[in-house]
Amino acid sequence: MKISVIKREAKLTLKGRWGFAILLSIITFGICSIIPLLVEILFSGGFTSWSNQENPPITAQLVSLIFTIALYPILFGYYSSFLDMERSKQVEIKNLFYAFDASVYFKVIGVYVLTALYTFLWSLLFLIPGIIKSFAYSQVYFVLKDNPKLSPNNAIKESRKLMHGNKGKYFVLILSFIGWGVLGVISLFIGFLWIVPYYTATLASFYESLVKTESAKQTLS
């Protein structure tokens, strides 16, 4: 499971789909960032009042956080769409919103809250344990995509199982995008229109490699 192979697979996934992948990214991060910000501005008394405050009122921050969590299933749909593309499946814009079905929606919210809570609690021990645990939980949304009947906790356990012995590879994978991140900043963030889809496609390719490796181990055993 070489990083270079995983990234090459991601590029093949995006071949002929770059425009669509960029559109998915714009819609996803536009909705997930702009709506909570507008809510915060509204509950802060308007743009003028919000821009003049060092810290928005706690009520505005709380309501904005609630909207952020409520919209999180769109991000789940985003990751799921890239996994479908990795598997050569047909993907449409509406795929971003499939998690708003009640049978999936609250599980996605539960996964988001639990992983954030667990990572925070581990971080209280020191920063490094929190980072390691965040790696262990990193596959949970792909796992839930493949196994929508799993409970949030069981999805987290399955992610930990897949990442056992693979956290170092995941760390190296993330490090390999540092140069791209610097390039994105230098380009006044315009470059992130291409970098974010590439990064997400690489994460989907990494997960697919984990699944195939785990399946091969079970077959041999």
Question: Do the domain assignments include residue 216?
Answer: no
Q: Which residues constitute the domain of residue 139?
A: 3-210
| Residues in CB range of 93: below 8 A, 6 or more apart | 23, 24, 27
Question: Do the domain assignments include residue 28?
Answer: yes
What are 153's two structure tokens?
A: 């906790």
Question: Do the domain assignments include residue 220?
Answer: no
Q: State the average pLDDT over residues 38-43.
A: 92
Question: What is the per-residue pLDDT for 181?
Answer: 94
Residue 46's pLDDT band (boundaries 50, 70, 90)? confident
Question: Do the domain assignments include residue 219?
Answer: no
The pTM of this model reads 0.91
Over the stretch 55-65, which tens digit does the pLDDT of each residue have? Answer: 888 999 999 99
Length of the chain: 221
Question: Do the domain assignments include residue 118?
Answer: yes
For residue 48, the one-letter residue type is T
Q: State the average pLDDT over residues 153-163.
A: 95
Residue 221's pLDDT band (boundaries 50, 70, 90)? low
Count of structural domains, the chain: 1
Over the stretch 188-210, which tens digit does the pLDDT of each residue have? Answer: 999 999 999 999 999 999 999 99
The whole-angstrom distance between residue 84's C-alpha and the CA centroid of its chain comes to 15
Helix 72-86 and helix 102-123, axial crossing angle in degrees, nearest 10? 100
Question: Do the domain assignments include residue 221?
Answer: no
Buried b / exposed e over 180-191, threshold 16 CB at 10 Å, is: eeeebeeeeeeb
What are 35's two structure tokens?
A: 């709506």
Residue 81's pLDDT band (boundaries 50, 70, 90)? very high
Longest Cα–Cα distance in the chain: 65
